Amino acid sequence: MNKIIFDENNRIFKLDTPGSSYMIKIADEEGFLLHMYYGKRLNSTITDDLCRLEQSPFIPSKNERERASFMDCAPFEYPCHGLGDYRDDAFSVLNKAGHTATSFSYRSHKIYSGKHALKGLPATFGTEDECETLEITGADEANGLEITLFYSVFYDTDAIVKSVRIENTGNADIKLTKVLSSCVDFYGDEYDTVFLHGSWARERIIDRKPLGYGKHYVSSLRGESSHQEHPFIGLLAKNADEDNGEVYGFNFVYSGNFIAQAEKSQFDSVRVLMGINPVDFCWNLKPGEEFYAPEVICVYSDKGIGGMTRSFHDLYRRHLIRSKYKDRKRPILINNWEATYFNFDTEKLISIAKRASALGIEMLVMDDGWFGHRNDDSSSLGDWYVNEEKLPGGLKYLVDEVNKLGLKFGIWMEPEMISPDSDLYRAHPDWAIQIPGRTPVRSRAQLVLDLSRDEVVEYVYGRISAVLKSANIEYLKWDMNRQLTDIGSFGLAPEAQGELFHRYVLGVYALQDRLTKDFPDLLLENCSGGGARFDPGMLYYSPQIWTSDDQDPVERMKIQQGTALIYPLSTMGAHVCDCPNHTTGRTTPFETRGYVALAGTFGYELDVTRIPETDQALIPYQIKMYHRFNDLVRTGDYYRIASFLENHEWDAWEVVSPDKSEALLTVINVSARVNMKARPIKLKGLDPEKMYTVTFVDIKAEPGKEQTLTLPGDALMYAGINPRIDNAGDFRGRLIYLRSENV
Ligand code: DGJ
């Protein structure tokens, strides 16, 4: 059955996902493209006057006198600049004559099975049996531009993916000063917005608030998606909660500067815009050239925030992440960063590897400090040659020794950076992003390589591949530890400096694309000073991303809740840390640290030779726990049960297998209270008709020795169960595993 139709009589496009519809109308003789509807799935196209087209003064061709009234309230599908729509627009230019106005008139369209790729950009994918695409082409004749709006619907998820291509079909050069990827206008309801705000070690904290009049936006001008704000916006009906109500989510498949904005107009309509941040963006388009704006994912849910979350998770697991590891258990790694920082050598790493191997850990990752003369963060980025003083015999010797212990080996690199104190900088100072005549701003003592230049990208790739080929390296942690400033490139002409931010991101994508094609077996984990580049763009290249440098389980619960609002648990890099925790100074039980890390990729980041014997003794049990539950965590449907961020006392989340035969509930009592009120936990997503064996997991118990109960799915969901948490102390956690035999 077609998911996209064109109703010729009413000139309406209708795009359907399993649970939502999206409608666009070609209106009036001028070919305005108007947004008619986005919401719960409809059975037919409507011809209603939602756009107020039939009433004077809203028919532009019939009432030139009041054209502005139409322009300023019509729900434009791709709003243009400077011709009477005073709400924010999606598209503006600077043409040869110095004018900035733009327009869009419908010209043609096509509908086809499958989905196009985006040149040089990460994008969702699907076969002809999995998705369908609509391309609507319009023209801005005065500027000599052709604009194509792309829409793809997936048959298995409530997601619509949008992007834009602009082609210069005229004879003159033109500058694109703003090319957003998506606009959706909503009519007159009261909404809340959800943004994900943060900071270093506090990324993606959920922030819900009522939407008032005017423009409300989050953005980045940091050259990456950033710790501080996130390329996501949620628009929620006032009554929407975790399980009920209408929720819209928009997420940008891009890793650089962005804007995500909701604007409530004088008429109470709401315009949601998303795309590349127009500030410091200016793209030169010569005749015949094209510009591709990245994808925006739009998700609709009438099952509350949780419904939106599960659609994003499904879409990303099925149609965005390409790595072969996305459907596999990842090796349990131990990373030496918080164990040693820069202070390590071969002997130290091997001592960690020996102990780790004895406990069942599967991979050693050597973090920052193995190259050049880097003994702190003041030097050597760019000099990707092993420091033989620290690692005598080089990488090959170390990796072979680690492999002999039965462990895989992984390495850290920060390929996009250059230290002023490096041989690379001494040879090529012009390879750093900087403005002639200004001393460039240093951050963590380093500068950023100019990845808009092909020769720089080529050099960086050469070094990465040489390192990876020099030994049996099976994992790469790709870090990026500073944001961009001093936007100036020695490789770009003066008129092209406004392209640098975007060209930089394209350079990162080109590198990771080549890397993942040349090293298909490599497990890539992206990272940026913790989780500053945890976005769908990076997920296209790496199946996991380091979530945050804050590994304290209490802080992590909030960070992981915000991250999991959009991103699958399988993508969240999460480790059991040392205590007192290095960022918060908090001490928490080793078990609880394990339960929280289990909600992500799971690994360790501590000196396993020095932590207490009792903690070491728990590791083999935690490893068994990981192997027992990771398939479910990675592939299951995620439900949020309670939020410590909201209630300040406890947290609980659940994953349920798609066939509802299994579930895992994690409960963390953050602060113990005496005489606690009864807190039955009502599970979600189970089959009310099924009987479940409920196991109160004891990771140390012999098989068959854990406490169990048998309860029906409806009782578990509607009456709830007592989690039986030991209340003697803060930060106590509990795993509860449910299994139904009558599948
Ligand atoms: C920031 C990362 O988030 C850390 O895990 C670590 O790799 C450091 N960089 C190393 O410099």
- DSSP codes of every residue in 288-342: T-EEEEEEEEEEEESBHHHHHHHHHHHHHHHHT---GGGGSPPPPEEE-HHHHTT
Q: Return d(Cα 672, Cα 732) in angstroms, integer.
A: 8
What gap in Å lies between CA 472 and CA 359, rounded to an integer?
Answer: 22
User: Mean pLDDT throughout 326-347?
Assistant: 97
* Test site for ligand 1: of 333, 527, 559, 601, most ligand atoms within 8 A of the Cβ: 527
Ligand 1: centre distance to CA 375 (Å): 14
CA of 264 to the centre of ligand 1 (A): 40
What is the CB neighbour count within 10 angstroms for residue 488? 18
β-partners of residue 259 are 219, 275
What are φ and ψ of residue 559, in 5° steps? Answer: -65, -45
Take residue 308 and report the two structure tokens written for it: 């939106």
Average of pLDDT values for 33-58?
Answer: 76
Question: Would you identify the CATH topology of the domain 641-740?
Answer: Immunoglobulin-like (2.60.40)
- How much is the average pLDDT of 366-395? 98
Rounded to an integer, what distance in angstroms lies between the CA atom of residue 395 and that of residue 405?
A: 15
Q: How far apart are the first and last CA of the chain?
A: 30
Where exactly does CATH 2.60.40.1180 map onto the chain?
A: 641-740
Q: Which atom of ligand 1 is nearest to the CA of 531?
A: 3
- As a whole number, mean pLDDT of residues 567-593 equals 97
Residue 55 — very low, low, confident or very high, per pLDDT cuts 50/70/90?
low
Q: Looking at residue 65, what DSSP letter applies?
A: G
Q: Whose CA is nearest to atom 2 of ligand 1?
A: 529
Region 467-493: mean pLDDT is 98
Of the chain, the percentage scoring pLDDT greater than 90 comes to 91
Residue 418 pLDDT exceeds 90: yes
pLDDT value at residue 70: 83
Nearest alpha carbon, ligand 1 atom 10: 368
Q: DSSP assignment of 88-143, as one string?
A: --SEEEE-TTS------EEEEEEEEES----TTS------TTTEEEEEEEEEEGGG
Whether the ω angle into residue 57 lies within 30 degrees of 0, i.e. cis, is yes
**Element housing 554 (H / E):** helix 553-564
Choosing among 2.60.120.260, 1.10.10.10, 2.70.98.60, 2.60.40.10, the CATH entry for 4-319 is: 2.70.98.60
Task: Give the H/E segment covering residue 631.
Answer: helix 613-635
- Are 530 and 546 within 8 A, CB to CB? yes
Inter-residue contact 500 to 492 (CB < 8 Å): yes
**Per-residue model confidence (pLDDT) at position 49:** 57
- Residue 403 CA, ligand 1 centroid: distance in Å: 24
Query: Ligand 1, atom 9: nearest CA belongs to which residue?
Result: 529
Q: How far is the CA of 529 from the centre of ligand 1 (A)?
A: 6
Contact between 390 and 344 under an 8 Å Cβ cutoff? The reply is yes
Distance between Cα 360 and ligand 1 center (Å) = 24
- 192 pLDDT exceeds 80? yes
pLDDT given for residue 69 in this prediction: 81
Q: Is the pLDDT of residue 436 over 80?
A: yes
Residue 528 CA: nearest ligand 1 atom is 3
What digits encode the pLDDT tens for the residues 637-672? 999 999 999 999 999 999 999 999 999 999 999 988
Residues 6+ apart with CB under 8 A from 481: 414, 417, 443, 444, 446, 528, 529
Domain with CATH 2.70.98.60 in the chain: 4-319
The pLDDT value given to residue 549:
98
Say how far apart CA 243 and CA 216 lie, in whole Å: 26
Q: Two tokens at 731?
A: 């930060």
Taking 80 as the threshold, does the pLDDT of residue 362 lie above it?
yes
Mutate to test the pocket of ligand 1, among 412, 534, 551 (most ligand atoms within 8 A of CB): 412
Substitution site in 336, 341, 367 for ligand 1 pocket (most atoms within 8 Å of beta carbon): 367
Per cent of the chain over pLDDT 70 is 97
Ligand 1 center from residue 564 Cα (angstroms): 21
**Confidence grade of residue 52 (pLDDT, cut at 50, 70, 90):** low
Q: How far is the CA of 525 from the centre of ligand 1 (A)?
A: 12
Contact between residue 161 and residue 240 where contact means Cβ atoms under 8 Å apart? no
pLDDT at 675: 66
The burial class, CB within 10 Å (0-12 / 13-18 / 19+), for 214 is exposed
What dihedral do alpha carbons 478, 483, 485, 487 form, nearest 10°?
Answer: 50
Nearest CA to ligand 1 atom 11: 368
Q: Which atom of ligand 1 is nearest to the CA of 337?
A: 6
Q: How far is the CA of 261 from the centre of ligand 1 (A)?
A: 31
Nearest protein Cα to ligand 1, atom 1:
529
Ligand 1 atom closest to Cα of 527? Answer: 3
Q: What residues are labeled active site? A: 479, 549
| CA nearest to 259, candidates 349, 180, 340 | 180
* CA–CA distance, 555 with 611 (Å, rounded to integer): 21
pTM above 0.95, yes or no: yes
Mutational test site, ligand 1, from 227, 335, 368, max ligand atoms within 8 Å of CB: 368
Q: Which atom of ligand 1 is nearest to the CA of 367?
A: 7
Ligand 1 centroid–CA 479 distance in Å is 7
Secondary structure element (H or E) that encloses residue 237, with its range: strand 232-237
| 109 has a pLDDT exceeding 90 | yes
Q: What is the pLDDT of residue 644?
A: 96
Nearest C-alpha neighbor of 34 from the set 20, 17, 62, 53: 53
Tens of pLDDT along 124-177? 999 999 999 999 999 999 999 999 999 999 999 999 999 999 999 999 999 999
Residues with CB under 6 A from ligand 1: 337, 367-368, 412, 479, 481, 527, 529-530, 546, 549
The neighbour count for residue 658, using CB atoms within 10 Å, is 11
Q: Which of 414, 528, 549 to mutate to test the pocket of ligand 1 (most atoms within 8 A of CB)?
A: 549
Q: How far is the CA of 684 from the centre of ligand 1 (A)?
A: 37
Mean pLDDT of 288-307: 98
pLDDT at 58 over 70: no
Q: Contact at 8 Å (CB) between 27 and 34?
A: yes
Mean residue pLDDT of the chain comes to: 95
Tell me how crowded residue 373 is: count the other CB atoms within 10 A of its CB.
Answer: 14
In the DSSP assignment, the letter for residue 495 is: G
The confidence score (pLDDT) of residue 450 equals 98
Q: Give the HSE-up count for residue 484: Cα atoms under 13 Å, Cβ half-sphere.
A: 28
